[in-house]
Amino acid sequence: MQSFDFQSSIRVVFGEDALDQLGDLTTELGSARVLLVTDPGIIRVGILEKALDSLKAANLDVFVFDGVEENPTSRHVADGVRFAKDQGGIDLLIGLGGGSAMDCAKGINFILTNGGRMENYWGVDKATKPMLPSIGIPTTAGTGSEAHSFTLIAQEGTHQKMACGDKKARFRTVILDPVLTTTTPKRVTTATGIDAISHAVESYVSTRRNFISQMFAKEAWHLLEKSFEIVVNDPENIEARSRMLLGAHLAGTAIENSMLGAAHACANPLTARYNITHGVAVALMLPGVIYFNNQAVSTLYQELHPVSLHERVSELKAVAELPERLRDFEIQLEALPELAKEAAKQWTGRFNPRQVSEVELLELYELTY
Ligand SMILES: [Fe+2]
């Protein structure tokens, strides 16, 4: 049996309207001055207001930084740090939103407590000083960022994704309130849902897989696979939304213990170069990666789906009506070798169950072209 080092210390509060407990949960962490990190979309749908009501009922001072955008860069983090310093005495952070808001909150925590720039924390366990306690509240069933200690911040200018991981950056408390996800627009539900599915599939077979990570990944897969079509066609279905949110969270827990694989390695350059949404980029690459990996991990894939995981994932993609081919994005065939070169630099590719160098990654891009 593969050895593992599993450390579970996140408090997870799950349930319809669990957001109403935010004030009390924040107080329990000993906070008085809160920085809440979010994006304008969350304000528009009324989720921020609900969060503020709960925090104010607990007599907390709250400062809202709403400067987060999709695929946050080191500039967004720096803006948030400046805002936090202007308020002074911030003692807790809340990330409220999709993966971008939660990642940005984690990024701000790194710099606010340890100084320097995001580049200084690229890699694992680079921070030396303690960080502030933080609360993660996902409003999409997708990244699972609330479950793990990594933040993905794009480098300003190059747009290269910097994966910065540190246990100290992990949220202390997580609120999973499925009601928040019912306002998610269809294009976001599909892209983030497929991303969560890819997290379950990739972490289940990664070279770092172990008993605990597979337990989370397998349960995540079953919750997500059962519910994805329902939330696409019936977005108000709270039971299916609940299963998706919990599935995405469990997949995030699996990532913490086993990392991802080639679908994410190939997706990151597509986002950096062509601005393709992360979930859409992953969805483009995932079926090809399953096909490619099958000769190495066919038994494991069968554990997820007894007939054909490749077919099932392709079916789910079809339900989502996500683009099928790279050429749909006006990517030139001649650009593929350059993409493969960039994909080979992605840390996450190292954990793919079949070794992938630039040559194999080019094959994967060609397969999807
Ligand atoms: Fe992802």
Is 266 inside any structural domain? yes
Q: Are 141 and 114 in contact (CB under 8 A)?
A: no
Identify the pLDDT of residue 9. Answer: 77
Distance 132 CA to ligand 1 centre (A): 25
Distance 100 CA to ligand 1 centre (A): 12
Distance 115 CA to ligand 1 centre (A): 27
Q: Shortest CA distance to 305 belongs to which of 318, 315, 292?
A: 315
Is 159 inside any structural domain? yes
CA distance 6 to 359: 34
Distance 263 CA to ligand 1 centre (A): 9
Sheet holding 150-154, edge to edge: 123-124, 161-165, 150-154
Distance 281 CA to ligand 1 centre (A): 9
171 and 199 both lie in a single domain: no
CA dihedral sign of residues 195, 368, 347, 206: positive
Distance 308 CA to ligand 1 centre (A): 22
Distance 27 CA to ligand 1 centre (A): 32
Q: Are 72 and 103 in contact (CB under 8 A)?
A: yes
Distance 55 CA to ligand 1 centre (A): 30
Q: What is the 3-state secondary structure (H, E, C) of the chain?
A: CCCCCCCCCCEEEECCCHHHHHHHHHHHCCCCEEEEECCHHHHHCCHHHHHHHHHHHCCCEEEEECCCCCCCEHHHHHHHHHHHHHHCCCCEEEEEECHHHHHHHHHHHHHHHHCCCHHHHCEECCCCCCCCCEEEEECCCCCCHHHCCEEEEECCCCCCEEEEECHHHCCCEEEECHHHHHHCCHHHHHHHHHHHHHHHHHHHHCCCCCHHHHHHHHHHHHHHHHHHHHHHHCCCCHHHHHHHHHHHHHHHHHHHHHCCCHHHHHHHHHHHHHCCCHHHHHHHHHHHHHHHHHHHHHHHHHHHCCCCHHHHHHHHHHHHCCCCCHHHHCCCHHHHHHHHHHHHCCHHHHHCCCCCCHHHHHHHHHHHC
- Beta strands 92-97 and 150-154 are unpaired
**Measured torsion, CA atoms of residues 286, 287, 290, 295, in degrees rounded to the nearest 10:** -150
The first and second tokens of residue 368, run together, are 């999807």
Domain count, the chain: 2
Identify the pLDDT of residue 1. Answer: 84
Give Cα 198 to chain centroid, integer Å.
11
Distance 265 CA to ligand 1 centre (A): 10
58: CB partners within 8 A, 6+ apart: 23, 24, 26, 27
Greatest Cα pair distance, the chain, in angstroms, is 59
Question: What CATH number corresponds to the domain at position 17?
Answer: 3.40.50.1970
Identify the pLDDT of residue 188. Answer: 95
The residue from 110, 145, 180 where one domain ends is 180
Q: Shortest CA distance to 184 belongs to which of 44, 49, 16?
A: 44
The residue from 150, 180, 210 where one domain ends is 180
245 and 294 both lie in a single domain: yes
Q: Shortest CA distance to 18 belongs to which of 185, 139, 193, 134?
A: 139
Distance 183 CA to ligand 1 centre (A): 21
Phi-psi region of 316 (alpha: psi -120 to 50; beta: other; left: phi over 0): alpha
207 and 60 both lie in a single domain: no
Distance 267 CA to ligand 1 centre (A): 9
Q: Shortest CA distance to 291 belongs to which of 310, 267, 273?
A: 310
Q: Are 199 and 286 in contact (CB under 8 A)?
A: no
- Beta strands 11-14 and 173-176 are parallel
pTM of the model: 0.96
**308 is in which domain, residue-wise?**
185-368
40 and 138 both lie in a single domain: yes
CA dihedral sign of residues 297, 300, 301, 302: positive
222 and 354 both lie in a single domain: yes
Is 3 inside any structural domain? no
Is 5 inside any structural domain? no
Q: Which residues of the chain have pLDDT under 50?
A: none
The residue from 143, 164, 180 where one domain ends is 180
Burial, 233: exposed, middle or buried (Cβ in 10 Å; 0-12, 13-18, 19+)?
exposed
136 and 233 both lie in a single domain: no
197 and 146 both lie in a single domain: no
Is 2 inside any structural domain? no
Distance 195 CA to ligand 1 centre (A): 5
Distance 56 CA to ligand 1 centre (A): 34
109 and 194 both lie in a single domain: no
Distance 251 CA to ligand 1 centre (A): 10
Identify the pLDDT of residue 49. Answer: 97
Identify the pLDDT of residue 6. Answer: 82
Distance 196 CA to ligand 1 centre (A): 7
CA distance 214 to 297: 13
Is 6 inside any structural domain? no
The tens digit of pLDDT for each residue in 189-214 reads 999 999 999 999 999 999 999 999 99
Question: What CATH number corresponds to the domain at position 256?
Answer: 1.20.1090.10
189 and 157 both lie in a single domain: no
